[in-house]
Structure 1
Amino acid sequence: MKIITENITINNEVLTLTNHRAIYWQRENALILSDIHIGKTAHFRRNGIPVPDDILQKDLERLQKLILHFKAKTLLIVGDLFHAETNVDMTTFKKWLSQFEDLKLVLIKGNHDRQSKKLMTDLQIEVEKELNLEPFTLVHEHLKCHSEVFTISGHTHPGVLIKGKGKQKLKLPCYQISADQIILPAFSLFTGLNTASQPKDSVCYAFTDESIVKF
């Protein structure tokens, strides 16, 4: 897995965009990511939809490599760590977590995070409605009430549509960045891309396995 990075500075803080759907925040020694949707594949299979069972493993392998690459001590997850009811994927996640003795997990609760407090306690996850870490406020979804702060959020699964010659089209995940917010791409590869919604006056940093490109 090739890790490509691009540093940006916002409010005097250096944030490192990666081509693997997560940001590294140097000051906090933390990875910021969103929309992992653990449990989604098991939920689909339980309902008779034949989804490959290695999707979660691939997502967790990418996350492991990012943690090791940056030597991160904290995961700041801005919502939808989980997807559905408690299922076998939570056991897979717990086993994966056991390799990191000192890793701190903070979850800013998203609309899909409806699991029990018992599960969160068992996984040693700190749960917040929103998290203020100056100069940023971490939320799952940026709303009008956040207009006075700079938010880092997820929820919308942003992407860009690139049109080529003729009918050629290419969709890529991206970070959307404007004067008052960053919207993260969904971390899980098992998500769609929303290319129809983009904040006013924002720029997009789209990425592939080999590059990060600003639009």
Structure 2
Amino acid sequence: MTITIRNEELILAKERAIYLPKEQLLAISDLHLGKAAHFRKAGLQVPSTLAQNDLNRLSDLLNEYQPKTLLINGDMFHHEVNTDIDDFEHWKEQYPTLKFVLVKGNHDKLDQKQYQKLGIEIQDPSYCTENFCFIHDAVKCTEENLYPISGHIHPGISVYGKAKQSLKFPCFYFGNDYAVMPAFSAFTGLSLVKPKATEQVYAITPTKVIKV
């Protein structure tokens, strides 16, 4: 779905990403690479394919939009270096000309040298364009003239059918003061939002993005 915010076109992709054609920038949030491996290390039976599936979805987006910059709006890595992050390093070799930018989130605690080794540019606390300020937690944004776009809370929305049955979907939330992106990782929960009448929410169904 294509929407306009601050007189700029944004494309909301059902793969849980935003593409900014003007900037040739693809933005995702809360990738949480390494989370599955972290849980497996703790003895929980989490499938080893989760991280690879997320990277495959990301490849599809990169092939479709051909951005110059991939922006991860916080929580790229869930914890310490592990096998999932090793897989990311090999995956990244497919994109030698793509600029990788990370806005640091609360889970991004690798050593600076590790980010450098992975070829990731760090922006802390935010990455700003002409109209938007990408920041992991919107309440910390200090760029008063820009519209903040955050992540962090993994927003979701309940959609009700005619028989009063409901389904929960990840969503894009565009409030009066800031926006919240969905978590890109499939291995996350949802924090349900309750929008006001003046706010916009776009649910991400398995086949398309819909306004609710």
TM-score class normalised by the smaller sequence:
over 0.9
Q: Which residue of 1 aligns with 2:147?
A: 150
CA apart distance, 1:77 = 1.0
Identity %: 44
Q: 8 Å contact 2:28–2:72 — kept in the other structure?
A: yes
- Say what the alpha-carbon RMSD is for the aligned residues: 1.8
Name the TM-score, length of structure 1 as normaliser.
0.92
Q: Which residue of 2 aligns with 1:3?
A: none
Q: Which amino acid aligns with 1:140?
A: H
What stretches of structure 2 of length at least 5 have no aligned partner?
none
Question: Which deviates the most, 8-17 or 163-172?
Answer: 163-172
Q: Which residue of 1 aligns with 2:128?
A: 132
Name the TM-score, length of structure 2 as normaliser.
0.93
Q: Which residue of 1 aligns with 2:187?
A: 190
Number of residues paired by the alignment?
A: 210
CA apart distance, 1:199 = 7.2
CA apart distance, 1:86 = 1.3
Matches of 1:209 and 1:145, distance apart in 2: 32
Q: Which residue of 2 aligns with 1:110?
A: 105
Q: Which residue of 1 aligns with 2:22?
A: 27
Matches of 1:107 and 1:196, distance apart in 2: 25
Q: 8 Å contact 1:147–1:180 — kept in the other structure?
A: no
Matches of 1:158 and 1:71, distance apart in 2: 27
Secondary structure (helix, strand or coil) at the match of 2:138 reads coil
**Alignment deviations for residues 3-35 of structure 1 (CA, whole Å, 9 cap, x no partner):** xxx111111211100101000110111111100
Equivalent positions of 1:71-110 (< 5 A) are 71-110=66-105
Q: Which residue of 1 aligns with 2:172?
A: 175
CA apart distance, 1:146 = 4.3
Q: 8 Å contact 2:133–2:143 — kept in the other structure?
A: no
Matches of 1:197 and 1:134, distance apart in 2: 29
CA apart distance, 1:167 = 7.0
- Indicate whether 1:39 and 2:27 are aligned: no
Q: Which amino acid aligns with 2:132?
A: F
Q: Which residue of 1 aligns with 2:205?
A: 208
Q: 8 Å contact 1:158–1:197 — kept in the other structure?
A: no
